[in-house]
Structure 1
Amino acid sequence: MTIHKPLQTDKNIDVVSLDETLASLDLAGRLSFVAGLGGRVVFTTSLGIEDQVITAAIGTHRLPIEVATLETGRLFPETVALISETEERYDIVIRRYYPEQDDIDAYAAKYGLNGFYESVEARHACCHVRKLKPLAKALEGASFWITGLRRGQSGNRASTPFAEFDAERNLIKINALADWDIEAIRAHVSEQSIPVNPLHGRGYPSIGCEPCTRAIKPGEPERAGRWWWENDEKRECGLHVADASHATVLSSPSQQ
């Protein structure tokens, strides 16, 4: 992979131009270009196969990009184990961001610990406590947020750009693998011997929290195993959806 130096360091970045520039680069070039634009750059990883490809590029090329993960407290043991394995493999630090215990307690008091099965509202509230609030901490003060979103993951992500302005978080979101399909991902992982979650080999192409993820059936979309009990085909946790309905706020006793 070729490392490209940024063409400019102007903070007033034209997102459309940035999107076009990134489209012409390979993965390492995209990451290097963004890292050279200035400001804090954060990559949030769920330890899925896409994110492992990005982490490997960051670690291999020693790029000045912070790597963070949302340790929700409900992850699969295999996912948790992969965090340490990946740190050791690439000599990097993956910073863990955890939910607040007061928020978890408030959620359980209102909905029950596993109340997310009962309604979309309850599920969104759980994602807010365990993912959205920790994400806000991880991205605080960041200029760029790198993700592993791909167009082929679901119909809801089919038009994913390489760069977009996230008005809610006031930063530029970089989807460095937007144009990669799952076959290219798997081939790259094999060629580079990148460590991946063993759950991928058991029918889990998309891996989130353990209670909310199942293996998919033959012919199902990649993300069909996420929140499978809901009917909405565009279901998301809210990390990548600008929708107030995903921002249910639970006030703990100390916050009321």
Structure 2
Amino acid sequence: MTESKIEKSLALIRQAVAEYGPDVAFACSFGAEDVVLLDLISRAGRSIAVITLDTGRLPQETYDVMDACRKRYSMPIEVYFPDAAEVEAMVREHGLNLFRDSVELRKRCCEIRKIHPLRRALAGRKAWMTGVRRDQADSRQQMAAVEDDAHFGIRKFNPLIEWSEAEVWAYIREHDVPYNALHDRHYPSIGCAPCSRAIAVGEDPRAGRWWWEQEDGVAECGLHASPLKKR
């Protein structure tokens, strides 16, 4: 892990705050990349709203690391939930495990449990920050450090875009950053409990997400797969 790469990420965090102040938010899922970014935000000495989505189907390990980070960094975490009426209507019509029935229903579940709450969380903001990296998936290869997010209509900052998985974990070990215990059980990507699994050696890091529909490639939930225009 090179100090120059860390400094580059810190500079981008400071740039985001300098340009947008209280109108920028960090969308944190508490995966490995996001806990690193949380630590970097703390090191940068900048105040950034931390928002997270509780879909109602998260594994306990995610709540555990969320609480550990809240205590470690003394940062308020804004938790957004899906609209109860939307979830009830969806489950009433399609059942609790609708995401297994078709790609369309899985995307509908992601939309109600993730996209809609995130849209509410970002309402009125001018920029958001994420922990995405280019080498996480082929669909993220063209992402830039700073982009115009066409899906949400605001700027998007990706301070870890050039980091490798090895660099993420080197940083976690060196700085004793809290992380999700599921990573130690071979879960590189963690979302909702029924839609995440451990992967085998050599599998794509995203292969543990929605694995039953991956004949045409690694699936995405829609948070980071929208068309983006680089700046």
- The verdict on a shared fold, with TM-score over 0.5 as the criterion, is yes
Q: Are positions 1:240 and 2:227 aligned together?
A: no
Q: Are positions 1:31 and 2:13 aligned together?
A: yes
2:167 counterpart residue number: 184
2:158 counterpart residue number: 175
Could you tell me how far 1:24 is from its partner in structure 2? 10
Counterpart CA distance in 2 for 1:53 and 1:238 is 22
Counterpart CA distance in 2 for 1:123 and 1:137 is 21
User: 1:210-229 alignment to 2 at 5 Å?
Assistant: 210-229=193-212
1:133 counterpart residue number: 116
Counterpart CA distance in 2 for 1:61 and 1:238 is 29
Contact 1:71–1:96 (CA under 8 A) maintained in structure 2: yes
Contact 1:144–1:174 (CA under 8 A) maintained in structure 2: yes
Could you tell me how far 1:238 is from its partner in structure 2? 0.8
2:83 counterpart residue number: 100
Q: Are positions 1:43 and 2:26 aligned together?
A: yes
Contact 2:139–2:225 (CA under 8 A) maintained in structure 1: no
User: 1:48-87 alignment to 2 at 5 Å?
Assistant: 48-87=31-70
Q: Which residue of the other structure, out of 121, 131, 134, is the alignment partner of 1:148?
A: 131
Letter in 1 for 2:163: W
Letter in 2 for 1:62: G
Counterpart CA distance in 1 for 2:151 and 2:189 is 25
Return closer, same or farther for 1:24/1:114 CA change in 2, 3 Å cut-off.
Answer: closer
Could you tell me how far 1:38 is from its partner in structure 2? 2.5
Counterpart CA distance in 2 for 1:38 and 1:116 is 37
Counterpart CA distance in 1 for 2:177 and 2:94 is 39
2:143 counterpart residue number: 160
Structure 1: where are the runs of 5+ without partners? 1-22, 244-256
Contact 1:69–1:94 (CA under 8 A) maintained in structure 2: yes
Report the TM-score when normalising by structure 2: 0.92
Map Cα deviations across residues 41-60 of structure 1 (whole Å, 9 max, x no partner): 11101100000001111123
Q: Are positions 1:209 and 2:192 aligned together?
A: yes
Q: Which residue of the other structure, out of 190, 193, 196, is the alignment partner of 2:176?
A: 193
Contact 1:203–1:215 (CA under 8 A) maintained in structure 2: yes
Letter in 2 for 1:232: D
Counterpart CA distance in 2 for 1:107 and 1:158 is 33
Structure 2: where are the runs of 5+ without partners? none
Matched residue pairs, number?
A: 221
Higher share of residues assigned helix: 2
Letter in 2 for 1:233: G
Contact 1:49–1:196 (CA under 8 A) maintained in structure 2: yes
Map Cα deviations across residues 66-86 of structure 1 (whole Å, 9 max, x no partner): 111001110010001111110
After TM superposition, where is structure 1 displaced by more than 6 Å over at least 4 residues in a row? none
